Amino acid sequence: MKKISAIILALTMVFSLAACGSSEQKPDSAPELQIASAEELLNSVWDKVSEDQKFPVAGGDMDNMQEDKAGNFSLENMDLVTSVLHLSQDTAASVSEAASMINAMNANTFTAVAVKLNEGVNAEEFVNAVKADVEGTQWMCGFPEYLVVYTVGDYVVYVIGAADLTTGVFKTAIETAYGENAHLALEQTLS
């Protein structure tokens, strides 16, 4: 009887210790993604691009022009929104703010845009609208090779341009900057 009691007591202690050792403390929820603006989002991505992969860029519209980084882009002048951001008026109506960053030598080589979606806008539908708008663009001076679109919280980020810059440099940088919060929504050739 003493042997059985000792074995039961020993097993109880072993299971108690095993249970204590395996209790991991998990947070109640993941920290909420905090992005101050579309401009901050693009600049966070650009900061993750290695110096040897960077190229001259300019960001923003004429009133918010930035050299070597992203800048805010007003949504008030639809001609500029259509020609630079490649968004139709209907698509642009779904966003509250925008920022851009464009290759200083050739926009068809690299154009990155971040937009914040208005509350209640379906991200998947917006991504499909961006795709249709970009495909419907009348390109001058060459045709970009790729379109890559990510969602990051309430933002949609899309990049148009050469394969090595869109599917290579930019994808790596956004995934490094935002990790699992950066969700690849679309990647396709344009030519």
Task: Find out whether 157 and 9 touch, Cβ atoms under 8 Å.
Answer: no
Angle 47-175-110 (CA atoms, 0-180°, nearest 5)? Answer: 60
pTM of the complete model: 0.81
- pLDDT tens digits, 63-90: 999 999 999 999 999 999 999 999 999 9
pLDDT higher than 70, residue 25: no
Query: What distance in Å separates the CA atoms of residue 22 and residue 148, rounded to the nearest whole number?
Result: 42
Given the structure tokens 């074995």, which residue do they identify?
7
Query: What distance in Å separates the CA atoms of residue 19 and residue 112, rounded to the nearest whole number?
Result: 50
- In this structure, how many other beta carbons lie within 10 angstroms of the beta carbon of residue 48? 15
pLDDT of residue 101: 96
Angle 9-15-18 (CA atoms, 0-180°, nearest 5)? Answer: 140
- pLDDT tens digits, 38-71: 999 999 999 999 999 999 999 999 999 999 999 9
107: buried, middle or exposed (CB in 10 Å: 19+, 13-18, 0-12)? buried
- pLDDT tens digits, 126-171: 999 999 999 988 776 678 889 999 999 999 999 999 999 999 899 9
pLDDT of residue 14: 46
Nearest in space to 93 (alpha carbons), one of 77, 75, 80, 111: 75
34 Cβ contact partners less than 8 Å away, ≥ 6 residues apart:
none
